[in-house]
Structure 1
Amino acid sequence: MTEETHLNPTQPVNQQIYRILRRDIVHCLIPPGTPLSEKEVSLRFDVSRQPVREAFIKLAENGLIQIRPQRGSYVNKISLNQVRSGGFVREAIERAVVRRAAILVTDAQLYQLEQNLNQQRTAIDRHQLNDFFQLDDDFHQILCDIAQCRLAWETIENIKAAMDRVRFMSLDHVTPHEMLLEQHWAIFRALEKHDEQLADETMHQHLAEISASVLLIRQENRDWFTEEQ
């Protein structure tokens, strides 16, 4: 588990604890089966148990943990069903988003995307895996903003927790950074041309990687996966 304990007093405590624990689970710092204690987490962040309990509920809703009354809370294995279902829904949303973004994108927004892609390049060159992972998410969130549909990104975030764990596990060898960055550039070039069809096709190719990588990652880490919901 990471040592981050400092919370921003201007933001809701429960949401910050949720984001930190979500990141720790997604980044494989907390393996499946690990017990999570409300008391220990409250001590870690020096807060009462109420915001911790609320963060746990959100983690459970996203399929990352299981709350067992009178028995405690535990980190779930990665559900193959959740990965497949989440991937199906995410692709449906993001292909619609990128088609709309191809119509609406401005020069200023293209510049914003280009800056993000340059930062991705820097993160790869410096072997900063965590930074690249976040910049990847930022790229997709910017596309939702360009399409003027923030709800699309909020929906994606709520369904992609299981996919994110597979994404992170696959970054170093199954789906290399270089390949993902090139796919991002392909999406960018389609937007630059305001080509809806090309944008749709490049997004489909990009998101299809998770379907291909999940089976390989499962073979390498069978104890981390389950067929259950």
Structure 2
Amino acid sequence: MPGRDGLRRLEPVRSPSVTDQVFEALHRQILSLDLAPGTKVSEIDVARAFEVSRQPVRDAFFRLSQLGFLEIRPQRATVITRISETAVLRARFVRTALELACLKAAIQTISEPDIRELERLLADQEAAVAADDRPGFHALDDEFHRRMCEMAGQGHVWSLIRDQKAHMDRVRFLSLASSAQTAFADHVDLVDALRRKDAAGAEAILGTHLGRIAAVLQAIRGEHPEYFDD
């Protein structure tokens, strides 16, 4: 509430709870395929591994099940869900709509310092591709797209995109051996279009970039059919 000087009192920063920490750790392991689709998990084993009680694990499991990554079955083993092609394509649709809206806003206000920051990210991405650092490239890819949302003045949108794109991420991670160079090249072209304030060109590049998941999905399904649902 406002103080006597008219300024709003700062809200205390909330530290991540134990449930948050367990959720984030499991979420990362699921998206990176460290916990592969079809893997059985138990509250007892996870609690023991993280040295926590079962309640925060139970809460984290529930959150993951709500996102579609865990199948909790009474009296049966809890398993990491297999990849749903329908969920991936729905996530692609939502992500594309949100990111294109952010891009349209960003191209109106993007500054030279913004461009230089994106170029620094490109340099880091190029190094990750050269080193075949797939987790590193995946993180830098996310950072690139997150910063574009922030440059549009819509940083809050990234949390929505992050939740939606999670179903894409398992496919993306599996494809990085062959697709990281292509993704990097798309980013280079996108920054060039932003520098020139070429709105139509930037939107076309981003649409193509995010749309590649459809072709990648079929290739990955052919290579890893055991990871996909029927």
Instruction: Give structure 2 stretches of 5+ with no counterpart.
Output: 1-14
Deviations 1:162-195 (A, max 9, x none): 210000111112x2x2111110011111111222
Shift, 1:114, TM fit: 1.2
Instruction: Say whether the 8 Å CA contact 1:170–1:213 is kept in structure 2.
Output: yes
| Paired positions, count | 217
The CA distance in 2 between the partners of 1:184 and 1:16, in whole Å, is: 31
Aligned to 1:112: 117
The CA distance in 2 between the partners of 1:62 and 1:102, in whole Å, is: 32
Alignment root-mean-square deviation, CA:
1.6
Aligned to 1:180: 183
Shift, 1:11, TM fit: 2.9
Aligned to 1:205: 208
Aligned to 1:32: 37
Equivalent position SS for 1:141: helix
Equivalent position SS for 1:226: coil
Would you say 1:45 and 2:88 are equivalent positions?
no
> Map of 1:1-40 to 2, 5 A cutoff?
10-40=15-45
Corresponding letter in the other structure for 2:128: A
Shift, 1:13, TM fit: 2.4
The CA distance in 1 between the partners of 2:120 and 2:17, in whole Å, is: 30
Equivalent position SS for 1:74: strand
The CA distance in 1 between the partners of 2:112 and 2:56, in whole Å, is: 42
Aligned to 1:64: 69
The CA distance in 2 between the partners of 1:60 and 1:159, in whole Å, is: 14
Would you say 1:121 and 2:129 are equivalent positions?
no
Equivalent position SS for 2:218: helix
Aligned to 1:226: 229
The CA distance in 2 between the partners of 1:51 and 1:100, in whole Å, is: 40
Corresponding letter in the other structure for 2:118: L
For 2:152, which of 132, 147, 154 is the aligned residue? Answer: 147
The CA distance in 2 between the partners of 1:150 and 1:72, in whole Å, is: 39
Shift, 1:12, TM fit: 2.6
The CA distance in 2 between the partners of 1:47 and 1:41, in whole Å, is: 8
Closer, same or farther: CA 110–226 of 1 in aligned 2, 3 Å: same
The CA distance in 2 between the partners of 1:48 and 1:111, in whole Å, is: 46
Instruction: Give structure 1 stretches of 5+ with no counterpart.
Output: 1-9
Corresponding letter in the other structure for 2:155: R
For 2:90, which of 64, 77, 85 is the aligned residue? Answer: 85
